[in-house]
Structure 1
Amino acid sequence: MIIHWEAFVQVFIAAFTSAVLVVGFYALGLRLLVRAGRAPVVAPAEFTDAITVITEKEARRAEKAAAKAAKRSPLTEGQKRVALVAAYLCFGVCAAAVLGGLLLILFNH
């Protein structure tokens, strides 16, 4: 059995780079989404007792805090719009990277 170390290193570097880029663009997209005044608030879900679930009161408090933070944002409406578009572009880059990886796996044999 022969191990092609050069190919292994190439795959490792490609995987590491793509993982860093996808996570980085996703984090940047979330940050821009919050700056645009559209903080993602997730409704609580019912799980087993192994996971702590927030109550309805805590969820309402989180929504109220997000709305309050959006109101006192120092950005103008135009800047918020630009941040929102940039956030969607970041999410699009993430989706394109994942789709490109899947296409490479499926059609590059």
Structure 2
Amino acid sequence: MDITIDWFAFVQVFAAALVGALLVVGFYAVGLRLLVRAGRAPVVAPAEFTDAITVITEKEAQRAAKAAAKAAKKSPLTEGQKRLALVGAYGSFGLCALAVLGGLVLIVVGH
């Protein structure tokens, strides 16, 4: 039995995975940064987990939400700039979703 490896195909898959990961992570990071600049810092409510994971208390979550609201009020950006940052954030999240969908299309159609 003779096993041969198509190294060019291996490099193609590696490059596609690397570029895809960079696009998804990059667009998500830019979107999150713009979302914070727009004054819409995401605050996640505490969740119920098992005892193995430490969960913040409701008081700590309220304190974090209050700090995020205070930081949003201190923003030096005008309302127009905040709106533009928010549109950019949503656009970046959309590009992130398109990168994921493009990868899925490559897997399903390209195979």
Q: What letter corresponds to residue 63 of structure 1 in structure 2?
A: A
* Matched letter for residue 65 of structure 1: A
- Structure 1 ranges of 4+ moved more than 6 A: none
Query: Counterparts in 2 of 1:31-46, with a 5 A limit?
Result: 31-46=33-48
Match of 1:29 in 2: 31
Q: TM-score, normalised by structure 2?
A: 0.95
Match of 1:67 in 2: 69
What percent of counterpart residues are identical? 79
Q: Deviations over 1:54-96 (max 9, x none)?
A: 0000000000000000000000000000000000010000100
Structure 1 residue 6, shift from structure 2 partner: 1.1
Query: Given residue 43 of structure 1, which amino acid in structure 2 is its aligned partner?
Result: A
Is 1:90 the counterpart of 2:92 in the alignment?
Answer: yes
- Cα offset, 1:100, TM superposition: 1.1
In structure 1, distance between residues paired with 2:52 and 2:89:
34
List alignment gaps of at least 5 residues for structure 1. Answer: none
TM-score in terms of structure 1 length = 0.97
Q: Counterpart of 2:49?
A: 47
Structure 2: where are the runs of 5+ without partners?
none
Residues of 2 paired with 1:46 and 1:61: CA distance? 19
Aligned-CA RMSD value: 0.7
Tell me how far apart the structure 1 counterparts of residues 108 and 9 of structure 2 sit (CA, whole Å): 19
Aligned length, in residue pairs: 109
Instruction: Report the alpha carbon displacement of residue 108 of structure 1 after superposing the two structures with TM.
Output: 2.1
Q: Report the Cα offset of residue 43 of structure 1.
A: 0.4
Q: Distance in 1 between matches of 2:70 and 2:23?
A: 32
